[in-house]
Amino acid sequence: MADALTLTPAAARRVATIAQKQAKPAILRLAVEGGGCSGFQYRFDLAEAPEADDAVSETDGVQLVVDPISLDLVSGSVVDFVESLGGAAFRVENPQAAAGCGCGSSFGI
């Protein structure tokens, strides 16, 4: 899955920090749900373990897992962690997104 989805080192460090504070495995689940101002929205959660049909990518010992349905909508994406004056957040650079919103958390295809 290395070509399908990428977790940047900055995002991997942030996931590792959050997972350590919550005493959970360093596994970030990315899912796509209907909603948001552009039609779809990203959802991030820590996972206990990958599901059998998940696609898994690993960066610096941190796993990024995505279910098959969501993978169809985010294939080729890069998941990054960005800190700015407006706050800090995980961002998805999705080459399939034809439209997006200012908050960066929703998209359209």
pTM equals: 0.83
Short-list 79, 25, 80, CA closest to 50: 25
Per-residue pLDDT of the chain (109 residues; tens, 9 = 90+): 445 789 999 999 999 999 999 999 999 999 998 766 657 888 999 999 999 999 999 999 999 999 999 998 899 999 999 988 778 888 889 888 765 555 445 445 5
Cα(19)–Cα(84) distance, rounded to whole angstroms?
22
Cα(60)–Cα(81) distance, rounded to whole angstroms?
14
Q: Which residues lie closer than 8 Å to 23 by C-beta, 6 or more apart?
A: none
Residue in the structure block whose two tokens are 């004056």: 85
